[in-house]
Amino acid sequence: MNKVLKLPQKLMLLGSGELGKEFVIAAQRLGNYVIAVDRYANAPAMQVADCAEVISMLSAEDLEAVVSKHQPDLIIPEIEAIRTEKLLEFEQRGITVIPTAAATNYTMNRDRIRELAHRELGVRTAKYGYAVTLGELIAVSAEIGFPNVVKPVMSSSGKGQSVVQNRGEVEQAWNYAIANSRGDSQKVIVEEFINFEIEITLLTIKQWDAPTIFCSPIGHRQERGDYQESWQPANISEDKILAAEEIAKKVTDALGGAGIFGVEFFITKDEVIFSELSPRPHDTGMVTLISQNLNEFELHLRAVLGLPIPHIEQLGPAASAVILASEKSDYIAFTGVAEALAEKDVDIRLFGKPAAHPYRRMGVALAKGDNVQAAREKATKAASKVKLV
Ligand SMILES: Nc1ncnc2c1ncn2[C@@H]1O[C@H](COP(=O)(O)OP(=O)(O)OP(=O)(O)O)[C@@H](O)[C@H]1O
Ligand SMILES: NCC(=O)N[C@@H]1O[C@H](COP(=O)([O-])[O-])[C@@H](O)[C@H]1O
Ligand SMILES: [Mg+2]
């Protein structure tokens, strides 16, 4: 399907955060025309795009207005919270939606992708259940057992997520999930807490007219359900990598289309457990900005445009560490960048977000090292030097 034969293409990016920004840079390098869309002005990807639109991406009317105005060749979602039913309509009208409109619909809510992976494809996941009221959550929590993890079905970057230790904490988890749910959903998922040895993102590249290929697995560490640091390569056995690749292939084949997917797994002593996936570049994959010959954004671009990917090279131990805000502010300035960059094999990305709030990701430090431990230490140290003032 849809192999693109000529450049430039007109790409509409729905969501314009840090991941979109790097994607736009990759797209611009091949001369494409990009319209960056998000819910607020001057979002990171808008700063490097040809033009920008500020709309509610959950509004079908707003989406119709920008698509009619710009007539893009491809629509490239960058976040989950989009009125995906409308994307199905655009696809029927002949606009390519990446990876497919159906895939964005499956992955917009945790329950849909979970049902596809677990029930339809028989993939091993954590034990889980759903609730739409506090009463149901109390009952489902008891069935799943404690500790468990409660998340809004519609959220990302750990928003509204909590680890629940006992029955006494269920109500608080319910209130937190509902208050932080994105969009109009009031549904939560409860998952068995997996005591994993390591969690990984397997960047999986699905191509229009070539076989699915994989990057070396990325290990990561999360806090509050949000990524803090990631590294590549991840130290897991070859048979577990193959098991993860098989699951990733199965799930991405079911979703169809083309593009990069960030497929998340929990790795225990004996098992490879599927968690979730992003049908687009993954935040933990920002390490590839320093760790590969082609980063995840360049790979996504090549895959969606049907351009060849002859070789992905992992360049050795590398890591990323996030630079977070600690306070609410509309004035953004950083100190410590010079100190961070004084170290060999360290790089910094500052996203250019126009406002900060506690724990908002404002930048990322990247580092290479003699081994993964050294790279992680270097990236974390560099990130800690950069401070918002
Ligand atoms: N069942 C679980 N057992 C143990 N840890 C979990 C479980 N579910 C989530 N976590 C932890 O919380 C993190 C975030 O969870 P998840 O990926 O489901 O949320 P998310 O909001 O979609 O995050 P993102 O959008 O950043 O991928 C996981 O990477 C993992 O560290
Ligand atoms: N885990 C998903 C993820 O990392 N998404 C990235 O964060 C942006 C939103 O940031 P914000 O919440 O700071 O606006 C998104 O636009 C995307 O780039
Ligand atoms: Mg995740």
- This model of the complex carries an ipTM of 0.98
Query: Cα(122) to centroid of ligand 1, in Å?
Result: 20
Per-residue tokens: 270? 């004996």
Q: What is the pLDDT of residues 257-282, one digit of tens each?
A: 999 999 999 999 999 999 999 999 99
Q: What is the pLDDT of residues 281-291, one digit of tens each?
A: 999 999 999 99
C-alpha 160 – ligand 3 centre gap (Å): 13
- Which residues neighbour 9 within 8 Å (Cβ) at sequence distance 6 or greater? 32, 33, 73, 74, 305
**Domains, the chain, with CATH or none:** 10-97 (3.40.50.20), 127-192 (3.30.1490.20), 198-388 (3.30.470.20)
Out of 283, 326, 332, give the residue to mutate to test ligand 2, the one with the largest number of ligand atoms within 8 Å of its CB: 283
Quote the DSSP letter at residue 69. Answer: H
* Residue with CA at minimum distance from ligand 1 atom 1: 193
The reply to whether 74 sits in an annotated binding site is: no
Residue 18 annotated as binding?
yes
- Give catalytic residues, as residue numbers: 156, 158, 264, 276, 283-284, 361
For range 29-38, the mean pLDDT: 98
Return d(Cα 212, Cα 253) in angstroms, integer: 9
**Which residue puts its alpha carbon closest to atom 18 of ligand 2?**
17
- The average pLDDT across 35-64 equals 98
pLDDT tens per residue, range 138-148: 999 999 999 99
Residue by residue, what is the 3-state secondary structure of 132-189? CCHHHHHHHHHHHCCCEEEEECCCCCCCCCEEECCHHHHHHHHHHHHHCCCCCCCCEE
- Cβ–ligand 2 contact at 18 (below 6 Å): yes
pLDDT in tens, 310-339: 999 999 999 999 999 999 999 999 999 999
State the Cα–Cα distance between residues 235 and 267, nearest whole angstrom.
11
Question: Closest-lying ligand to the alpha carbon of 322?
Answer: 2
Q: How confident is the model at residue 3 (pLDDT cuts 50, 70, 90)?
A: low
pLDDT more than 70, % of the chain: 98
Q: What is the pLDDT of residues 88-137, one digit of tens each?
A: 999 999 999 999 999 999 999 999 999 999 999 999 999 999 999 999 99
Tokens of residue 225, six digits: 């359900």
The overall pTM is greater than 0.95: yes
Interval between CA 114 and ligand 3 midpoint (Å): 13
| 266, 273 Cβ separation under 8 angstroms | yes
Centre of ligand 1 from the C-alpha of residue 173, in Å:
15
Strands (E) across 157-310 are located at 162-164, 188-192, 198-206, 213-214, 218-223, 226-232, 259-267, 272-278
Is 4 a residue whose pLDDT tops 70? Answer: no
Confidence grade of residue 368 (pLDDT, cut at 50, 70, 90): very high
Q: Using a 6 Å cutoff on CB, does residue 283 contact ligand 2?
A: yes
- Taking the centre of ligand 3 as the mean of its atom positions, its distance from the CA of residue 225, in whole angstroms, is 8
CB of 82 closer than 6 A to ligand 2?
no
How are beta strands 74-77 and 198-206 bridged, if at all? unpaired
Residue to mutate, 275, 284, 324, 360, ligand 1, most ligand atoms under 8 Å from C-beta = 275
**pLDDT, tens only, 296-310:** 999 999 999 999 999
Position 2 pLDDT exceeds 60: no
- H or E segment to which residue 12 belongs: strand 10-14
Indicate whether residue 17 lines ligand 2 (CB < 6 A). yes
Ligand 1 atom with the shortest distance to the CA of 195: 4
The rounded Å distance from CA 159 to ligand 2 centre is 11
- Does ligand 2 come within 6 angstroms of the Cβ of 361? yes
The verdict on the CB of residue 149 being under 6 Å from ligand 1 is yes
Query: What tokens does 109 get?
Result: 């809510």
Would the annotation count 19 as a binding residue? Answer: yes
| Protein residues placing their CB within 5 Å of the ion ligand 3 | 264
Decide: helix, strand or coil at residue 109.
Answer: coil
What average pLDDT does the chain have?
A: 96
> Which amino acid belongs to residue 104?
T
